[in-house]
């Protein structure tokens, strides 16, 4: 479905000015230029392969003043505050595309939070100060912005369907009259992707029909808080990209403490093999997600809980500090009741094709 472009009004006075003019809140045309990139894209031009849209949340002095949705390869321009544009003084427009955002902003302290691939219906922004309430321009505070994984699987007892492959970027900056600002923002994975293949080994009888099974991953984070009172987003030491200016750190959104279960259908590979891909919010080192397989109705558990947290710790796979949480595993059920878990990369599996694990 083709997504539409929309602009939320910013509650700021936008006026025309000349360089050096001493007028309060004087705004010079497009005085802020922000460029977005994704480190794992081969080139900056390839970023849209991973990030198809960006929802920008702009805060001034800790209050939400604008929300801008940029879709795909669309180039656009628009008034961030059309209601306050003064007649006879021209219009202060802002131009944007997926990789560049040029803003005309008055003096002040700003925070920009940018979410790649945010889609209402799979995730939902909320104002934590009023649970269940949407974000309000001019009212919602930065510390109260939260994001919840909300898309449910009604046929599977309240589990959550896969979310979008979310990406996150953040930047804090000050605007001072008659100065131009430019900065590059690195988008970081704000999602976890787990590709799992389950094999019923020798001596283990698989279900008669593998087509409608569901794979579950429980005890996984289901919410983010942008900036909560006692937890700041983690600062990561970032490998330097091959293009563009260098950057010393990146920010990831903080977990809000909520856990849930995501589920997805499986793809039968052979009479004793299925695979599935589960996509949720970022895991943390203290996360102990449990992998299981259920029947189509979601009432009978066919594969007991497998503690992937223990597996991650044993094999040394990072979670909290892993910039790209993409994991491929092989789970084998043994006749003696044991369950083995191995990295899929080490197996050399060819039967049935290749599992695709996009970033």
Per-domain boundaries in the chain: 6-189, 191-221+263-346
Q: Report pLDDT digits (tens) over 53-94.
A: 899 999 999 899 988 888 765 555 443 433 323 332 333 445
Q: What is the pLDDT of residue 95?
A: 60
For the chain, helix (H) and strand (E) counts, in that order, are 1, 27
Q: Report pLDDT digits (tens) over 301-343.
A: 999 999 998 899 888 888 887 888 999 999 999 998 889 999 9
Hey, how many other C-beta atoms are within 10 angstroms of the C-beta on 67?
19
Q: What is the pLDDT of residue 289?
A: 94
Which CATH number is associated with domain 6-189?
Answer: 2.60.40.2100
Identify whether the C-beta of residue 54 lies closer than 8 Å to the C-beta of residue 71. no
Q: Determine how β-strand 167-175 pairs with β-strand 6-7.
A: unpaired
Please give the CATH topology (third level) of the domain spanning 191-221+263-346: Immunoglobulin-like (2.60.40)
Beta bridge partners of residue 221, listed in sequence order = 259
Query: Rounded distance, CA 145 to CA 64, Å?
Result: 9
Structure tokens at 86: 């003064």
| pLDDT(209) > 60 | yes
Identify whether the C-beta of residue 98 lies closer than 8 Å to the C-beta of residue 48. yes
Is residue 260 packed enough to be buried (19+ CB in 10 Å), middle (13-18) or exposed (0-12)? buried
Which 3 state secondary structure label does DSSP give 346? helix
Q: Report pLDDT digits (tens) over 117-145.
A: 998 778 888 887 777 788 888 888 888 88
Residue 100 backbone zone (phi > 0: left; psi -120 to 50: alpha; other: beta): beta
Phi and psi angles of residue 238, each rounded to the nearest 5 degrees, phi first = -105, 135
Query: Rounded distance, CA 95 to CA 247, Å?
Result: 24
Is residue 61 packed enough to be buried (19+ CB in 10 Å), middle (13-18) or exposed (0-12)? exposed
pTM: 0.80
Structure tokens at 310: 């223990």
Which 3 state secondary structure label does DSSP give 234? coil
What is the C-alpha radius of gyration for the chain, rounded to an integer number of angstroms? Answer: 23
Q: Give yes or no on whether 6-189 and 191-221+263-346 have one common fold.
A: yes
Q: Check residues 305 and 98 and name the one with the higher pLDDT.
A: 305
């Amino acid at each position: 479905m083709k997504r539409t472009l929309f602009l939320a009004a910013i509650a700021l006075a936008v006026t025309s000015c000349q360089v050096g003019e001493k007028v309060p809140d004087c705004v010079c045309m497009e005085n802020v230029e922000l460029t977005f990139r994704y480190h794992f894209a081969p080139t900056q031009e390839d970023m849209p392969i991973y990030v198809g849209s960006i929802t920008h949340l702009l805060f001034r002095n800790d209050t939400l003043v604008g929300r801008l949705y940029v879709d795909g390869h669309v180039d656009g321009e628009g008034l961030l505050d059309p209601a306050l544009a003064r007649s006879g003084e021209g219009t202060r427009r802002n131009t944007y595309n997926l990789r560049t955002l040029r803003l005309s902003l008055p003096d002040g302290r700003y925070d920009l939070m940018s979410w790649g691939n945010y889609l209402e219906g799979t995730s939902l922004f909320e104002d934590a100060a009023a649970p269940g309430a949407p974000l309000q321009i001019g009212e919602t505070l930065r510390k109260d912005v939260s994001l919840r994984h909300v898309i449910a699987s009604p046929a599977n007892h309240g589990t959550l369907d896969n979310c979008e492959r979310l990406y996150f970027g953040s930047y804090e900056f000050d605007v001072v009259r008659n100065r131009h600002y430019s900065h590059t923002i690195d988008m970081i994975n704000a999602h976890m992707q787990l590709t799992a293949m389950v094999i019923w080994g020798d001596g283990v009888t698989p279900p008669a029909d593998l087509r409608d099974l569901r794979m579950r991953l429980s005890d996984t984070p289901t919410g983010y808080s942008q900036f909560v009172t006692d937890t700041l987003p983690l600062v990561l030491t970032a490998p330097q990209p091959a293009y563009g200016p260098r950057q010393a750190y990146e920010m990831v959104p903080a977990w809000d403490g909520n856990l849930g279960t995501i589920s997805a259908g499986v793809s039968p590979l052979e009479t004793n093999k299925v695979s599935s891909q589960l996509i949720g919010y970022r895991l943390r080192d203290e996360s102990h997600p449990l992998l299981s397989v259920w029947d189509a109705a979601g009432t009978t558990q066919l594969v007991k809980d497998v503690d992937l947290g223990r597996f991650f710790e044993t094999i040394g796979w990072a979670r909290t500090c892993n910039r790209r949480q993409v994991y491929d595993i092989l789970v084998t059920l043994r006749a003696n009741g044991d369950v083995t878990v191995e990295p899929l990369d080490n197996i050399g599996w060819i039967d049935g094709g290749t599992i695709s694990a996009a970033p």
